[in-house]
A = this chain, B = another copy of it.
Amino acid sequence: MPRTERGRRTLRAILDAAAAEFGDRGFHETGIIQITQRAGVALGTFYTYFDSKEDVFQALVRDFSDKVREGAGRAIADATDQIDAERRGLDWFLHFAREHREIYRIIDQAEFVDQDSFRFHYETTVARIRKRLEAAAERGEVRADVGEIHAWAIGGMNVFLGLRYGVWSDDGDLSEVARIANDFLAKGLAPK
């Protein structure tokens, strides 16, 4: 992370420009020059932050992972129990997906451009879901046998709902989508 406020703003501008360019054109069709032009920074400035196009792409995937972790974390902070937390987290994520449609295009490109980042993003996201659910099982809020398979199932559910109702749709009540999906989840995870 840059030490100065100005440095952090420049880094942010480069990441946002890269997200927009990679989202619009795709990784292969995007040059560093297009990123710097969009960010309004000199080419030399780019190279003080990143070594290559691959490097900024990797930083972008981490940046999205951070945003999802922090955003979902804030959204679930006031939840009354774990099922309510999962609803709030999904509600937040669906709105985030609609506002940041490029995220899906970037993460899916990562499968090719940077396989490690691709796995890192999903594995850490799902590991957080699993940890939350296992803690909830300890408290008796969800079934005692909850584990990794449930966490991947829920991760996939959330990503697809974000694609269908967030990225592909401009209207539709996202909180209602989250409510219906959460009712399915609540019954599927109910203690025996």
Contact partners of A47 in chain B: CB under 8 A: none
Contact partners of A180 in chain B: CB under 8 A: 147, 149-150
- Check if B159 sits within 8 Å of A160, measured CB to CB: yes
A180 to B, closest residue via Cβ: B149
Instruction: Tell me the bound Cα distance from A126 to B163 in angstroms.
Output: 13
Per-residue CB proximity of A74-90 to B under 8 Å, as 1/0?
00000000000000000
Contact partners of A119 in chain B: CB under 8 A: 168
6 cross-chain pairs, A with B, having the tightest CB-CB distances, nearest first: A156-B160, A188-B188, A156-B156, A153-B157, A108-B108, A184-B188
A132 in contact (CB, < 8 A): no
Known: A150-B180, A156-B156. A105 touches B109 (CB 8 A): no
